[in-house]
Amino acid sequence: MVTASYVAALDIGNRSIKTVVVHKDPGDQDKINVLGYGIVPAKSVTRGAIDTEDEIKSIKKSVSMAERSAKTKIETAYIGISPTVMITTPMVVEIKKREVSRFNENDVNKVLEMAEKKFATWLTKSTKVKKFLGDQVILHVLARNFVIDKRNTVESPVGFTGRNLLVNAYIVTVPRVVLDSIRNCVNSVGIGVKEVVFEPIAAAESVLRERERKEGVLLLDIGCKTTQYAVFYKNGIIVSGVVGQGGWDFTSDLTKVFGIDFSTAEKIKCSYGDISGISTNDVIPIDEDTVLNVTEVNKVLVSRAEHLIGERIRKEIVEARKIGNYIGTGGVVITGGGSNLKGLTRFIRHSFGVPVRKASPIGIEGRNIMTPEWAVAVGLAKYGIKVEARKEGKGLFKWLGGKFGSWFDRYI
């Protein structure tokens, strides 16, 4: 049976369903061990919602594989979510004390609760949100930073003296129908939902370094159907979201241009794909009468990369929202299965003009899951370990957890 020292995580992706069980090493508080994991193909996850009984069976199979390898029973889990319809927005709220005194955890909790209530009120009154985005549920209220007495900006106000406390919060919402779908399907296989976590937050926990979060970094988690992004600066989240394109769009372009089936196109992309701009006369045999030129194949892949990275990410998000100044020496970090395309780091480096690295999970000891594909699943587990520690009073801010969270305590 999974005890409080164990954490299970479930990443329900478009391509596969991953389950991982981890344990905090009692002899080394900085060490997290992977006890077991399971992975099975996904069948019908659409826009973050689970559509069929077959998908629920796949979840159960993934969980069972993890239970067997971990030799333990999973009763609860942290679950990832990545809807393409959502709201992410900043929110500023201020509280005033009667007299000057030291700020404590209760003050921080109060100002975050006020930010949630202020946003919830706006959400209830907004007819446009309901019309175009449906019924939305607040998933996270994250503190970017705090301002004491309108002059001192700090990552944590606890212990500081002052009268006025302002929080620059960042709020993430998701459609209720998607959230309910995920909760119901996980419950249906006998697992309780500890918390549902926006996947870019989980991926960041898994692959980002402390220096990158502080100095400014753009995280791209490139999945098969979507690319999730988040920008962090001074340990605060600046912007995040999901683009409805991923690794399979590269594959789909090959099928359309060359008239080949999806399976063959995927194998070609993985074996021969290279968008670094190197020309070659090599050919790829398709059948007795058909060969493809590798350079022509890569031109198609480059075209898709230009659209996804150059148009959707750089122009529509970074430049349009004027967040380029927040991407500092941390540069761009890419992860997820789609990050394995050869030449992608070089392509993004040329597009953004900043350092780029491909990242796998860090800060964890385990079996064969230290690859970019496992970034979200491992990140969910690490997130859960730290939330559980805070609930037990072992973390710096044990009030953080559930809906409220912050980047300043190096946890979330």
| 33-64 residue pLDDT tens | 899 999 999 875 554 456 578 888 999 999 99
Residue with the bigger pLDDT between 271 and 126: it is 271
Do 171 and 266 lie in a common domain? no
Highest mean pLDDT among 129-133, 327-331, 365-369: 327-331
Q: Which residues of 123-148 are buried (b: 16+ CB within 10 A; e: fewer)?
A: beeeeebeeebeebbbbbbbbbbbbb
Q: Are 66 and 381 in contact (CB under 8 A)?
A: no
- The domain boundary, picked from 130, 150, 175, lies at 175
| Residue ending a domain, choose from 175, 201, 220 | 175
122 occurs within a structural domain: yes
Q: Which of 175, 206, 221 is the last residue of a domain?
A: 175
Task: Give the chain's domain count.
Answer: 2
Residue 169 and residue 251 in one domain: no
CA separation (Å) from 301 to 251, 258, 295, 324, 342? 8, 12, 10, 26, 10
The pLDDT of residue 404 is 55
Encoded amino acid at 252, one letter: S
Clarify whether residues 258 and 340 are in a common domain: yes
Q: Is the pLDDT of residue 83 over 90?
A: no
Look at residue 234 and tell me if it is in a domain. no
Same domain, 251 and 344: yes
163 part of a folded domain: yes
On whether residue 70 sits in a domain, the answer given is no
CA gap 45, 80 in Å, rounded: 13
Residue 322 lies in a domain: yes
pLDDT at 262 over 60: yes
338 occurs within a structural domain:
yes
The pLDDT of residue 7 is 95
Residues 6+ apart with CB under 8 A from 305: 250, 275, 341, 344, 347
Q: What is the CATH number of the domain that holds 167?
A: 3.30.1490.110
Q: What CATH code is carried by the domain that includes residue 332? A: 3.30.420.40
Do 253 and 352 belong to one domain?
A: yes
pLDDT at 403 over 60: no
The answer to whether residues 257 and 167 belong to one domain is: no
d(CA 290, CA 284): 9
Which two three-digit tokens encode residue 249? 């769009």
β strands within 215-320, DSSP E: 217-222, 227-233, 236-243, 283-285, 291-293
Same domain, 166 and 251: no
| 342 and 251 inside one domain | yes
In a domain, 406, yes or no: no
Boundaries of domain holding 124: 87-175
- Say if residue 393's pLDDT is above 70: no
Q: Are the CB atoms for 49 and 177 separated by under 8 Å?
A: yes
Is residue 25's pLDDT more than 90? no
pTM: 0.89
166 and 264 housed in the same domain: no
Distance CA(362)–CA(378), nearest Å, equals 9
**How does pLDDT run across 93-136, given as a tens digit for each residue?**
999 999 999 999 999 999 999 999 999 988 888 877 777 777 88
255 with 352, same domain: the answer is yes
Asked if residue 331 is part of any domain, the answer here is yes
